[in-house]
Amino acid sequence: MPSFLDLVDVAIRAAETGARYLRSMPRPPLAAWTEKARRDFVTDVDRAAEERIGTLLRAAVPGSVVIGEELTPAAARDAEVVWIVDPLDGTTNFLHGYPQYAVSVGCLVAGVLSVGVVHDVPRDLTYHGAVGHGAWLGEQRLRVSPVTEAARALVGTGFPFKDMDQLEPYLRQLGAVLRASSGARRGGSAALDLADLATGRLDAFWELALAPWDVAGGVVLIREAGGIVTTLSGDPDVLHGGSIVAGNSTLHRWLRELLASA
């Protein structure tokens, strides 16, 4: 069994391989955009990036399983090492040339989320972390924000663009956050939002409907940077798809309570 640090190195190489491919590709023409669901696009670029990432991961750790958004969403998770990959988090941004998209690689070891890598593709930055080894951007160790006053907090979020049934409750939550905080931001890439929280650029974050591949890499970064990540109900297992709330201990508690009351 490779060590966590060995797995981090593999995940970094895989994420950077995918990122180099994405940077080499022109924006796909409109005719190449495929809607998996309303407002949820995919292209051959996503699929090809995932193939490259998956091939490297499986070769580096024989017997490991890759769960990816585009090719293998139903793969079994009972292997000793399971990679959870989003080859292009922020596809709509990529398609429009909006420079906020990432490659995310998380790793389950014996069923426990243990390694996370998020690569900011346009800026060519790699965030990485592993349980017990901290979260890092290069040689810089990451720490979540020390802000504890809600009125000074900058809160990240994501719109429920795939499920309009959640729009009304989400708007009530957004209104409550805007009234209580210093502001809210929506970048369009959950992986980068979570990386921003791990660095302290954002003070808290929530979203109502995220898949495992959206969050696996970033969750490790936040926890290793001293933050807390749960579902809206408080469950620390956020890999079943659904809501996510994150922040330092004070703001995480504040945001959960605020969202529940809204």
Give the tens place of pLDDT for each residue, 213-235.
999 999 999 999 999 999 999 99
> Does domain 4-141 match CATH 3.30.540.10?
yes
Q: Tens of pLDDT along 239-258?
A: 987 999 999 999 999 999 99
Looking at residue 230, its pLDDT comes to 98
Structure-model confidence comparison of residues 178 and 30, the more confident one: 178
Tell me which of 3.40.190.80, 1.10.3720.10, 2.40.37.10, 3.40.50.720 is the CATH number of domain 150-261: 3.40.190.80
Residue 131 has pLDDT above 60, yes or no: yes
Residue 91 has pLDDT above 60, yes or no: yes
pLDDT of residue 77: 63
Length of the chain: 262
Task: Calculate ∠ Cα 186-224-152, nearest 5°.
Answer: 45
Per-residue tokens: 125: 């930055």
Segment 143-169, tens digit of pLDDT? 999 999 999 999 999 998 777 788 999
pLDDT for 179 equals: 98
pLDDT at position 70: 62
What's the confidence (pLDDT) of residue 71? 54
Can you give the residue ranges of every domain in the chain?
Answer: 4-141, 150-261
Mutual angle of helices 4-24 and 44-60, in 10-degree steps: 150
